[in-house]
Amino acid sequence: MPDRAITRRRLLVAGGAGVAALALGGCGAPARYAGRTPDFGALRPDPNGIVDLPGLFRYRILQQEGDRLAGGAAAPGYFDAMVALSMRDGATVLVRNHELAPEDEVRWSVEGLAAYEAGGPGGTIALVLGRDGTVERSYATSAGTINNCAGGPTPWGTWLTCEEDRTDGHGYVFEVEPDDQTGRLSRRPIRAMGSFSHEAAGVDPATGIVYVTEDNYQGEPDAASGRQMSFLYRYLPKDRRRRPGALHAGGRLQALAADEAAARAEGLAEGRRLGVRWVDVGAEDPHVDAVERGALRFTRLEGADFAGGALWFSDTEGGPAALGRMYRYTPRTEALELFAEGTPQNGMSSPDNVTVTPWGDVWFAEDRDEGSRIIGLTPAGDLYRFGVARLPGAELAGPTFSPDGRTFFFNVQSPGFTIAVEGPFPAASSAARGVMARAAPPQHLAPRLAPDAVEAGLRAGLPPLEAAALDRAGVPLS
């Protein structure tokens, strides 16, 4: 048997710290899904040529690139990830990223706001909404950064904006207070969270742990596969008091890891679960440490959202067809599951920004310039369209819901539009979000059985599905 081969007994019964195990079922007792795909109706062609939505839904443009902010500055472009938060006075505020780089040659006035770096074109804008849903005022909440792509909300009402950048002095996470126009907090990077090409963040409200994805689209490829490498990280803060600024007190940064036989997440069988562990990485160059310490390699991680006890995150180019994957990680059981994979047959393609809806489905915006869509994923694994961009070259981004769950917001990246959608959305339900977090991966994503894997498995005394899962994980069966 080759040196790298792992016996079925070693893989399935090994225990203790630092050991991964591949399982063939859902995590714990899977929730029984009694729901169905939301019947929003057929998409209606938009006479304005911006975005098609189901017929019972209507949209309003809240802001577009070039609109005036407080103080007279023009709203910059490249709208990206976004969140809707409740302010202290009960108003709703949107905090929006601007994915701007120096080569975009965009400079915008941030008078009165302390910027991280003078001349840095990126940052965030806040839009305060009145009771009628219109924008009452809009202002900058952070500036001086680069490529503010995605991020994530915190349970204490702030926004973590992430730099998708690797240049010197950048590649950090910044915490933004939605009602602060001075930059008191947002001008300081959370250095202990690492310097790398950050994408999105999801915070576990029960522990305060922050999970962060890496979109290493400019990084070196994996020598074995020729594909890009990115990793999933978590930040264990020293200060768990869940308040603005606490994350700056330092903490441990770790990368997700698994057994050597599953060094790439591509090897994870569809609809199956992989036990995982975490390895410490340094904040100075965590990507290099993750490579050296055998962390689990993904292709291009992008969106993330934590809800119902689970972290949902997307790999926009994952899977055999490079059409993208949706993963679920459950901290309680330390299990990683592949929940959905894009194929030419199911139409799923390039998942990017992710949000868990108030009624429990997972929605994602697609990372493509033509015909970008908002796609829904149910606990049963059904996929459905909610919106399709019609502007030439427009990518949809920043899907998020109002705190009461009645309004859906998203962005058109360029030309920049922030849009509010109202209509008959399902009622918010924390229980339904829990169902999505516990639902067994859908049966129609079961692994396809390669004849040679089945034959090798039979010789090794393995059931066909188990043989297929081990084969997809790269475990020699002979």
As averages over each run of 10 residues, the pLDDT of the chain (478 residues) reads 27 24 28 59 95 96 95 91 92 96 80 87 96 94 95 97 93 96 96 96 97 84 78 97 96 87 60 79 95 92 97 94 94 91 91 97 92 94 94 95 97 96 94 91 56 64 52 52
Give the count of alpha carbons within 13 A of 159, CB side only: 32
- Report the pLDDT value the prediction gives residue 238, as an integer from 0 to 100: 97
- Report the pLDDT value the prediction gives residue 67, as an integer from 0 to 100: 95
CB 25 within 8 A of CB 330: no
Q: What angle do CA 349, 350, 351 make, to 5 degrees?
A: 100
CB 286 within 8 A of CB 233: yes
- Report the pLDDT value the prediction gives residue 13, as an integer from 0 to 100: 25
Pairwise CA distance, residues 199 & 215, whole Å? 6
- Nearest in space to 84 (alpha carbons), one of 311, 394, 421: 421
Residues 6+ apart with CB under 8 A from 341: 270, 318, 319, 323, 324, 325, 326, 348, 445
- Report the pLDDT value the prediction gives residue 221, as an integer from 0 to 100: 76
- Report the pLDDT value the prediction gives residue 462, as an integer from 0 to 100: 55
Walk me through the domains of the chain, giving residue ranges and CATH numbers.
8-448 (2.120.10.30)
- Report the pLDDT value the prediction gives residue 477, as an integer from 0 to 100: 55
